[in-house]
Amino acid sequence: MRYLSILTLLLLTLHLPAQEPDPLRAGMEEMGDPPERSADAEPLAQELQYLRRHPLPVNTASAEQLRALGWLHELQIQSLLDYRARLGPLLALEELQAVPHWNAGLIRQLHPYLSVAAPAPARLLAGEHRLQFLYARELERAAGYRVAGGYAGSPDRLQLRYRFQGARLRWGLTAEKDAGEPLFRKEAPVDFVSAHLYYEGAGLLRTLALGDFTVNMGQGLIQWQGTAFGGGADLSFLKRQGPLFAPHRSAGEFAFQRGAAVTLQRGHWELSAFASRRRLDVNSSDTGDLRFTGFQEGGLHRTAGERADR
């Protein structure tokens, strides 16, 4: 009887539901290697989460909006714009297969984020508000908390985020204290504060960014502060894609500008300009005359030495 029970268990087959792949993760893997800093991919993930709830109208989307998706290269974007200009609006997302340089795999990845429905007239201040709070603490106290002249703050990490996102208008605020950094200093209550206001229009004023924003131009030879993928199987993504100006929404403390940016467009002419001024953390060598030796990208200000490099 015992051998019969064992044989029955060996022959028994159980069917369990498999976990469905995450389209965002699968799409990023398709585009190539992820960015070195996880904060770089954060704005793209937030944008795609928003588009899942509010799909992009493919019949009215601009080249800049399509470029912000991250999946499309310039040839695919231009092919869609030419197709719409010649044949009119698409009747179904499946019709994208008739657009040159588009394929079934790409359409399947983009399907959750696109729609052929006509967009409803959006009010300027209509959108979503989101408030997030993060608390983390190191379980094991590092040596910097136990030595004299070590970390000035507690091992708690605190982060507060507020976001508003609408069809054309976005604003937000980020405040963060890293582990080991002090709270309520004379200069500021927390170590890092970032704010942005971003407007995207369809007339003469195409883009207006105030506060903290990123700049992507010249394939990184001039400036590239947004998400960049590379090394994937698709060679078309060797050319970086991204909006010229975008709001800085991550908690990264290095790769962004602080000031104002604007893009004006009339007909086939476009003018973009920005102005920025902010203090950066640097490495310096004091050997009689003060010398600059490099930038610090970590954003940590736990000790007197790290705060002196600001």
Task: Tell whether the model's pLDDT for residue 166 goes beyond 80.
Answer: yes
Q: What pLDDT is recorded for position 291?
A: 67
Across 80-86, average pLDDT? 94
Task: Tell whether the model's pLDDT for residue 82 goes beyond 90.
Answer: yes
Whether the Cβ atoms of residue 213 and residue 257 lie closer than 8 Å to each other? yes
One domain for residues 108 and 136: no
Whether the Cβ atoms of residue 294 and residue 283 lie closer than 8 Å to each other? yes
One domain for residues 159 and 291: yes
Q: What is the pLDDT of residues 13-57, one digit of tens each?
A: 444 444 455 555 555 555 544 444 445 566 777 778 888 888 999
Q: What is the pLDDT of residues 173-193, one digit of tens each?
A: 999 988 888 887 777 788 889
One DSSP character per residue, the chain reads: -HHHHHHHHHH-----PPPPPPHHHHHHHHHEEPPSSHHHHHHHHHHHHHHHHS-EETTT--HHHHHTTSS--HHHHHHHHHHHHHH-S-SSGGGGGGSTT--HHHHHHHGGGEE-SPPPPPPTT-EEEEEEEEEEE-SS--GGGTSTT--SS-SEEEEEEEEEEESSEEEEEEEEE-TTPPSS-SS-SSSEEEEEEEEE-SSSEEEEEEEEEEEEEGGGTSEE-S---EESS-GGGGS----SEEE--SS-SSS-EEEEEEEEEETTEEEEEEEE-----EEEEEESEEEEEEE--S----SHHHHHT-
8 occurs within a structural domain: no
298 occurs within a structural domain: yes
Q: What pLDDT is recorded for position 133?
A: 92
Whether the Cβ atoms of residue 37 and residue 43 lie closer than 8 Å to each other? no
Q: What pLDDT is recorded for position 35?
A: 45
CATH number of the domain bearing residue 51: 1.10.150
Query: Domain containing 134: what range?
Result: 128-308
One domain for residues 300 and 171: yes
One domain for residues 136 and 284: yes
- pLDDT band for position 11 (cuts 50, 70, 90): low
10 occurs within a structural domain: no
Total number of domains constituting the chain: 2
One domain for residues 192 and 250: yes
Give, to the nearest 10 degrees, the angle between helix 38-53 and helix 23-31.
130
One domain for residues 304 and 165: yes
One domain for residues 183 and 40: no
One domain for residues 37 and 61: yes
Domain-ending residue, one of 63, 84, 115: 115
Task: Tell whether the model's pLDDT for residue 153 goes beyond 70.
Answer: yes
One domain for residues 154 and 258: yes
Q: What pLDDT is recorded for position 197?
A: 96
One domain for residues 239 and 157: yes
Domain-ending residue, one of 115, 141, 172: 115
Q: What is the pLDDT of residues 88-132, one digit of tens each?
A: 999 999 999 999 999 888 899 899 999 998 777 767 788 889 999
18 occurs within a structural domain: no
Task: Tell whether the model's pLDDT for residue 138 goes beyond 90.
Answer: no
Q: Rounded to the nearest 5 degrees, what angle is found at the Cα of 35, between the Cα atoms of 31 and 41?
A: 85
Domain-ending residue, one of 91, 115, 139: 115
Half-sphere exposure of 198 (CA within 13 A, CB side): 24
**C-alpha dist (Å) from residue 33 to 216, 236, 298:** 19, 14, 21
Task: Tell whether the model's pLDDT for residue 157 goes beyond 50.
Answer: yes
One domain for residues 193 and 291: yes
Q: What pLDDT is recorded for position 38?
A: 46
Q: What is the pLDDT of residues 192-247, one digit of tens each?
A: 899 999 998 888 999 999 999 999 888 767 777 776 655 455 555 566 777 889 99
Answer with the residue of higher pLDDT: 233 or 254.
254
One domain for residues 86 and 215: no
163 occurs within a structural domain: yes
